[in-house]
Chains A and B, each alone.
Chain A
Amino acid sequence: MSDYLWNRTNPVDDDIQRWEQTLSSLRSNRRYHLPADARRDPRHPPYAAVAAAALLAVLGPLLQRGTPNEPSRWTSEGRILRQGQSLDTRQQPILLEAEDFGQVRVGENTRIRLGRSHNLELKQGRLHALIWAPPGQFVVETPSARTIDLGCQYELEIDAEGAGLLTVETGWVAFEHGARESFIPAGAACRTNPTSGPGVPYYQDAPASFRQAVQSNDIPAILAGARPRDALTLWHLLARVSPSERGAVFDRFRTLVPVNAERQAVVALEPVALDQCWNALNLDSAEWWRKWKRPWR
């Protein structure tokens, strides 16, 4: 290759010089500015995306399996992967890429299967997802729960028994199994196991004793150790504990965050009362939760 082509040093290549002079007329020297009305994506997912994700959740595994041997949307090291293809990374992590969608880093000793569209099945191991597609389009099936991306990045690991841990770094993730759902915001984590599905989410900056209490489902210790922001955990507990315990959970909840809901209505799991409790968390309005397939509807 000529030096001129590489760094425009002599001797000049006449063809190249003529073409670059001609093509330089296509250059733009303008300064760019963001339009004044450019806005960030909303913190919570658009209702349409949530509705689409809910539909996806209802259709469930039928959509996840994919058509064997059809190309998937994912590539790895420039190769197009196929729907239905199983991958076992052993000692070599791999990066799945989809230009218009996101990246998934699949860790060592991890087994995954590619489903329809961008969906994945994580059988065992660990993955980290960074998704820039609209919320609700990226679904990962595991033996104990389904994760639905709501515009975020997160890490998910599943052990040999099918139990797992989801850690959300930005945005939100919905974690569901059967009728049980958890919604995990940035900074929070949530465990899941094959028999009971998703547990209650907890903030990772909570004291170790609180996290341990969540893991062992020690309700008195959870209530005693909760900080105001751990009301997120208590909100999820409301629908999981027995009616006899629910009153105590709500009593503690309202000492942590101001809420106008009626105790009796909360104990009865009335949707309006649960919405009021959710809104008191100051995370987002309850409206988009209600667009999801709510268990308390």
Chain B
Amino acid sequence: MPFAPAASAEEELVRSASQGDRAAFEELYNRNARLVRAVLLARVAIDHVEDLMQDVFIQAYRQLPRLRTPAAFRGWLMSIARNRAAEHHRESRRNLALAPTRQPVTGHEEAVIILDAIRKLPEAYRETLILRLVEGMTGPEIADRANLTPDSVRVNLSRGMKLLREKLTLGGRK
């Protein structure tokens, strides 16, 4: 069980943070920021991601004392992030007529095009591909960090990459 010591250390951080230890929570924040960022990047435009990251972690900090099982922390945190992204879309639809459309981030045009292609893939593949291609994690790291089995990660990467190649190639942006 190669990841057991890390998981156990994180559970200890969760226990400390739930008792009000802000430093422990900031450590949890930094350990899991890439994971949460990938969840958000899979769903919302990149120029909203940093704001939403902050929202997700503040919500997690507020609600952490209610989390019963420290080992469930990452799954719980990812759920908060997915929900915050969905809420962001609902807010965006409400504000569509009022708010000006944000411009794409300059200097990242090609990256944004690839990211948009990933966002058009089936949901199951998006987060895994972003963790691999944006955050630079390997398959085993993704399995560990996202609480997925290595087989699931292999399938998501393999099928997701096949679809991504088709999209980018057919789009003439290979």
Contact = CB atoms under 8 A, between A and B. Distances in A.
Interface of A: 1, 5-8, 15-16, 19-20, 22-28, 31-35, 38-41, 99-100, 130-132, 151-153, 169-171
B33 A1 contact: no
Contacts of A23: 111, 114-115, 133-134
A88 B28 CA distance: 39
6 contacts: A5-B139, A22-B114, A23-B114, A26-B41, A26-B111, A33-B26
B174 interface: yes
Given A20-B133, A40-B20, A32 B57 contact: yes
B36 to A, nearest CB: 10
A39 B62 contact: yes
A1 B136 CA distance: 17
A6 B20 contact: no
Contacts of B114: 19, 22-23
Interface in B51-92: 53-54, 57-58, 61-63, 65-69, 76, 79-80, 82-83, 86-87
A97 to B, nearest CB: 8
A99 B54 CA distance: 18
Contacts of B108: 25-26
A257 B114 CA distance: 66
Contacts of B138: 6-8
B8 interface: no
Classify the secondary structure of B's interface with A: helix
Given A40-B20, A170-B65, A26 B132 contact: no
B66 A40 contact: no
A7 B115 CA distance: 21
A22 B111 contact: yes
B161 A16 contact: yes
A77 to B, nearest CB: 14
A7 B100 CA distance: 42
Contact of B133 (A7, A16, A131): A16
Contacts of B115: 23, 26
A28 B158 contact: no
A15 B165 contact: yes
Given A20-B132, A31-B30, A170-B68, A1 B157 contact: yes
A32 B30 contact: yes
A6 B154 contact: yes
Q: Most chain-B CB neighbours within 10 Å: which of A1, A24, A170?
A: A1
Interface string B139-174: 110000000000000100110010011001000001
Contact of B82 (A6, A27, A99, A170): A99
A106 to B, nearest CB: 16
B62 A38 contact: yes
B135 interface: yes
Nearest to B165: A15
Contacts of A41: 62-63, 65
A19 B66 contact: no
Contacts of B136: 20, 24, 27
A152 B66 CA distance: 6
A132 B62 CA distance: 10
Nearest to A40: B62
B79 A99 contact: yes
Contacts of B29: 32-34
B50 interface: yes
A169 B136 CA distance: 40
B154 A1 contact: yes
Nearest to B32: A32
B66 A153 contact: yes
B58 to A, nearest CB: 5
Q: Which of B30, B86, B111 has the most CB of A within 10 A?
A: B111
